[in-house]
Structure 1
């Protein structure tokens, strides 16, 4: 089985909120974009948090809008073996250097985990986050996580406090 590797972090010195997924799925890897599956609700959910309609924008414009709002992206897994895209199929994960990244972000206020696998693995690494940095668990934006959009959006709306 081949290993699948994630993307580089999307952050800068002004990142106040870091959103961590588990590992990009096949659709995202194919287009080389975070949350590249057309039914993944990520861009709608985070757009609601920052007050921008992100889905119509190009990928580069979406990333620029996130950075301008103080939002960063990365994954808790640097690489893993996984047939398909389900988190339950992840085998032999190699952790990303979360502590190193979190420690390098001077404005960071919160780390949010997009889904249960990201929360479980990320919290195991970030057991002692820097002072003033809160950890937030979110329902997954994945279409595999069947929950009404409005319910997901209400949970994701909490991220506004980390940015405000």
Structure 2
């Protein structure tokens, strides 16, 4: 019995993206391995059902976005059930849909920042997160103000690409 093109697609997706997707799902589910495995399985099933969504774009960000949406939807479904069902005690995410989205986006931005080179990350931390002027950042970092400006420009471009890969930037 030969494997179909659909089976080959699923196997290839799992082989290439299964590990990182499971790690991501584990973080989203607060370490609940069973729930994370269910999220990975459902994500791959959706990819199989919608192969057109995978063409003309990077696959991993799409898979991560689907996984994130599944976790958020599951959390919202748990929150909408009456308390007597006893399902609230296992909720891994904070209450409130906006809080969930903000927390997940914040985590993904932090992960994208970690992907930047140390010099790029340093200028963004000084100028954007610590609110320092170019001159102040130059003094703290021990580099010329012009270097702070150019590094900030290129760091923002790199950050935008990192966020696009995660499905966060337009």
Range into which the TM-score falls when normalised by the shorter chain: under 0.3
Please identify the structure whose Cα radius of gyration is greater: 2
TM-score normalised per structure 2: 0.26
Q: RCO greater where, 1 or 2, for CA within 8 Å and sep 6 or more?
A: 1
TM-score normalised per structure 1: 0.26
Q: Give the strand-richer structure, 1 or 2.
A: 1
